[in-house]
Amino acid sequence: MKTNKLKTFSDMCKKREVKSSGRAVILKADRSLFGRIIVMAQVRSLNMEDILSHPLGPLPWALSTPDGLLRKTNKATLATALQKNVALQEKPPENSATVVDGMNLVQRVKGDEVTFRDVATTILGMALREGSQSRRIDVVFDTYKQNSIKNSERSLRGEETGHELQDITSTQMVRQWRNFLSKVNSKTSLISFIVNEWRKPQYREKLQEKILYATVIDKCYRITYQDSEEVSTLHCQQEAADGRLLLHAAREGYQSIVICSEDTDVFIMSLAFCDKIEAPLFLKCGTRTRTRLVAIRKVAATVGMDTCRALIGLHAYTGCDTVSAFAGKGKTRALTLLMNNKETQDTFLKLGQEWDLSPELSNKLEAFTCVLYAPKASTTMINKLRYHLFCAKKGEIESHQLPPCKDSLRQHTLRANYQAGIWKRCLEKDPQVPSPVGRGWKMETEEEGAQTCKLTKCENQVTCVESSDEDEDDMENDDD
């Protein structure tokens, strides 16, 4: 007879090894933790509501993955929900200008080119194809700063391990293309090389009658068949190309602007500022063989401008590249709450307007989070809701299914406010962005005695660390 391996109470406390994204993580069963908490509460007369006001772990699982990464959500669902009632357009009106995300072109290069001159030629050809129906083409590249809120995300992508090239020459051979692109300094050198190459006569000949604007760090160059010159009016201190795309789209003299980007962040910012840009905006996305144009103003007319202006705050708060998402809470549910409640729209409209988060706005966001987790919640206090949900399930609930505690939510809100503040100033050439330190992030020395530092999220321990307020949340990587 076959022996049945019956489970015992000791099995609940055994460690199990979980592999996630190539990392081996040792976890303990959540219910074992909750069981010990209940025993402690009975023996020592502890208040369960007070106990549940803490993260109950090394990381706040509602905002973190078990391996200590930012919890992610599917951003594209937000764009899909907003576009569902809008018919797509086949081609933009005549006399349009095209704005292209330069790093998107770089990432699409397969690396089969022999030399870096071939890489520059290939990317220029891709840009000209994107703007085949436009006389003016703007290629906007990212700027990579040393202390950036994107550092954590870049390190997770392995951007510290690639080989680095400082001075790229046109005849230099391309080696290990993907490994080369994984280094931030290499990408900065590559952008400078590409733009400098495009300014040479042999590349300018390919433009014919077109006008090309290309950015490199904080500068911008106007390149034509005849010559190239620096354009001081388009100098910009913005770090991400997402916002800089909108700045270039705000130029006058065109009947329409086509923005080539698949990024949901760009789509949301386009909706929020479409009434401040003179020419109608179109977002071009899809594959090389099947492209589609989304008329931004038609989408805005469908959902309403009040909702569009509040979308930046909602998008940052419910999860983006630099701010964690809530476990199991997608963007569609949050969008429904936003569209059906004027007070919620006013709340997210204020998020990011000021760099310092007011107590009043923080309380309103806490109340929104309560509704996000429990539509019929009788409380607007997140710690009380954690306790009520725990009791309603009689303890049979995983810790990541509970909302984050108040202290963790505070750090999450600070980060969302900072990111929303950056997006809301995308039409400014030199936005006065304060240091993220103390606004959900902190500076950490990489090794004792070293002078190099990196910017990380303020959280508990492991990958991210919180500033102030006991235990806080951690930025992690996970798909909703």
Residues 134, 210, single domain; the answer is yes
**What pLDDT, on a 0 to 100 scale, did the predictor assign at position 159?**
54
Look at residue 267 and tell me if it is in a domain. no
Residues 197, 68, single domain; the answer is no
Last residue of a domain, one of 235, 254, 273: 254
Contact 168, 190 (CB under 8 A): yes
Look at residue 266 and tell me if it is in a domain. no
**% residues pLDDT > 90 (the chain):** 50
Q: Who wins on pLDDT, 67 or 34?
A: 67
CA dist 106 and 74 (Å) reads 23
Question: Token pair for residue 264?
Answer: 């949901």
Residues 67, 121, single domain; the answer is no
Closest CA to 58 of 477, 470, 478: 470
In one letter, which amino acid is 414? Answer: L
Residues 53, 137, single domain; the answer is no
Instruction: Indicate whether 184 pLDDT > 80.
Output: yes
Instruction: Indicate whether 32 pLDDT > 60.
Output: no
CA dist 198 and 120 (Å) reads 7
What is the span of the domain harbouring residue 392?
Answer: 13-85+304-480
Instruction: Indicate whether 12 pLDDT > 70.
Output: no
CA dist 187 and 164 (Å) reads 9
CA dist 137 and 123 (Å) reads 13
**What pLDDT, on a 0 to 100 scale, did the predictor assign at position 448?**
45
Residues 445, 329, single domain; the answer is yes
Instruction: Indicate whether 54 pLDDT > 50.
Output: yes
Look at residue 349 and tell me if it is in a domain. yes
**What pLDDT, on a 0 to 100 scale, did the predictor assign at position 318?**
96
pLDDT band at 466 (very low <50, low <70, confident <90, very high): very low
Look at residue 295 and tell me if it is in a domain. no
Question: Residue 84: helix, strand or coil by DSSP?
Answer: coil
Instruction: Indicate whether 469 pLDDT > 50.
Output: no
Instruction: Indicate whether 305 pLDDT > 70.
Output: yes
Residues 448, 317, single domain; the answer is yes
Residues 117, 217, single domain; the answer is yes
Last residue of a domain, one of 254, 286, 314: 254
Look at residue 262 and tell me if it is in a domain. no
CA dist 69 and 475 (Å) reads 5
Contacts of 309 (CB under 8 A, 6+ apart): 272, 345, 349
Look at residue 1 and tell me if it is in a domain. no
Instruction: Indicate whether 276 pLDDT > 60.
Output: yes
pLDDT band at 349 (very low <50, low <70, confident <90, very high): very high
Domain count, the chain: 2
Closest CA to 269 of 292, 243, 303: 243
**What pLDDT, on a 0 to 100 scale, did the predictor assign at position 154?**
63
Contact 253, 178 (CB under 8 A): no
pLDDT band at 24 (very low <50, low <70, confident <90, very high): very low
CB atoms closer than 10 angstroms to residue 461? 12
Q: Who wins on pLDDT, 104 or 27?
A: 104
What are the residues facing 212 on neighbouring strands? 137, 223
Instruction: Indicate whether 21 pLDDT > 50.
Output: no
**What pLDDT, on a 0 to 100 scale, did the predictor assign at position 455?**
60
Taking only Cα atoms into account, the Rg of the chain, rounded to an integer number of angstroms, comes to 25
pLDDT band at 86 (very low <50, low <70, confident <90, very high): confident
Residues 129, 184, single domain; the answer is yes
Q: Once rounded to an integer, what is the mean pLDDT over residues 403-411?
A: 93
Look at residue 296 and tell me if it is in a domain. no
Contact 129, 452 (CB under 8 A): no
Q: Once rounded to an integer, what is the mean pLDDT over residues 39-57?
A: 73
**What pLDDT, on a 0 to 100 scale, did the predictor assign at position 56?**
76
Instruction: Indicate whether 472 pLDDT > 80.
Output: no
Question: Token pair for residue 72?
Answer: 């992610």
**What pLDDT, on a 0 to 100 scale, did the predictor assign at position 425?**
94
CA dist 49 and 168 (Å) reads 60
Give tens-digit pLDDT for 320-343. Answer: 989 999 998 989 999 999 999 999
Residues 471, 440, single domain; the answer is yes
Residues 107, 243, single domain; the answer is yes
Q: Who wins on pLDDT, 153 or 354?
A: 354
Average pLDDT of the residues of the chain: 82
Look at residue 454 and tell me if it is in a domain. yes
Residues 411, 471, single domain; the answer is yes
Residues 123, 67, single domain; the answer is no
**What pLDDT, on a 0 to 100 scale, did the predictor assign at position 323?**
93
Q: Who wins on pLDDT, 305 or 289?
A: 305
**What pLDDT, on a 0 to 100 scale, did the predictor assign at position 40?**
63
Last residue of a domain, one of 222, 254, 286: 254
CA dist 112 and 247 (Å) reads 33
* DSSP 8-state class, residue 327: T
Return the residue matching tokens 């065109």: 254
